[in-house]
């Protein structure tokens, strides 16, 4: 089955973002602490990210009052949007990002994005980096009821591109991206943006990785 499209993560894959995640985590930590979340669950940014990623299910597991959970989720979303937008103007394209998208498009491939950033941030950062020209469909965190790692986020993008899971591959830089692709039964290619994140992908079980986005063109041609 021939390749019809390539779907990308955004931050850390196509865009070198400068979002202040420490500031974001600190603001969310205060909300969760006030809601009674045990302090040991809030000791570092990665643990807070796991709570954000798990949403209502994780809040329920931690015993947060069900009446309070919708308000807490809404407040966390507001904070994430705010901090993302504050850093949007610092966005830069990853090395060879534009060249890669242009080459893939010239070969008749659709280009999609599935990102956990909010819609307004994704649109602004793509505009500032000039990447929006090459993107056929972008679905952000707040445009789907089930953001990744739920596979439906990725599969919705695939559907919008007129393709089937076996006709695309997904490119991302995190274990969340890998988990999403595996659940969607979409081939995953890791982007090694640096040694630390590359090791995280390997530890998570990534078997195919590039450290230059332009290498994706050759992979697409041999798909």
pLDDT in tens, 117-171: 999 999 999 999 999 999 999 999 999 999 999 999 999 999 999 999 999 999 9
For residue 158, count other CB atoms closer than 10 A to its CB. 25
pLDDT in tens, 174-209: 999 999 999 999 999 999 999 999 999 999 999 999
- The pLDDT, as a whole number, for residue 43 is 82
Q: Residue 12, by phi and psi: left (phi above 0), alpha (psi -120 to 50) or beta?
A: left
- The pLDDT, as a whole number, for residue 138 is 98
Arithmetic mean of pLDDT, 39-64: 81
Q: Is the pLDDT of residue 89 over 80?
A: yes
Where is pLDDT greater, at 49 or 9? Answer: 9
Where is pLDDT greater, at 209 or 57? Answer: 209
- The pLDDT, as a whole number, for residue 1 is 60
190: number of CA atoms within 13 Å, CB side? 25
- The pLDDT, as a whole number, for residue 156 is 98
Q: What share of the chain is helix, strand, coil (3-state, %, to 5)?
A: 55, 15, 30
- The pLDDT, as a whole number, for residue 58 is 81
50 CB contacts (<8 Å, ≥6 apart)?
Answer: 58
**What's the mean pLDDT when you consider all of the chain?**
93
């Amino acid at each position: 089955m021939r390749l019809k499209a390539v779907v990308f993560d955004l931050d850390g894959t196509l865009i070198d973002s400068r979002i202040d995640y420490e500031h974001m985590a600190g603001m969310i930590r205060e909300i969760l602490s006030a809601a009674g979340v045990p302090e040991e669950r809030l000791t570092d940014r990665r643990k807070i990210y796991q709570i954000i990623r798990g949403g209502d299910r994780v809040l329920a597991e931690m015993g947060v009052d069900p009446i309070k959970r919708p308000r807490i989720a809404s407040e966390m979303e507001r904070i994430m949007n705010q901090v993302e937008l504050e850093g949007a103007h610092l966005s830069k394209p990853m090395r060879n990002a534009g060249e890669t998208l242009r080459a893939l498009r010239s070969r008749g491939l659709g280009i999609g994005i599935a990102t956990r950033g909010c819609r307004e941030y994704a649109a602004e950062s793509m505009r500032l980096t000039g990447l929006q020209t090459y993107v056929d469909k972008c679905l952000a965190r707040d445009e789907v009821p089930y953001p990744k790692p739920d596979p439906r986020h990725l599969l919705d993008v695939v559907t919008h591109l007129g393709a089937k899971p076996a006709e695309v591959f997904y490119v991302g830089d995190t274990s969340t991206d890998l988990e999403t692709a595996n659940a969607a039964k979409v081939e995953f290619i890791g982007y090694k943006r640096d040694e630390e994140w590359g090791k995280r992908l390997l530890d998570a079980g990534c078997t195919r990785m590039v450290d230059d986005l332009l290498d994706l063109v050759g992979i697409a041609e041999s798909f």
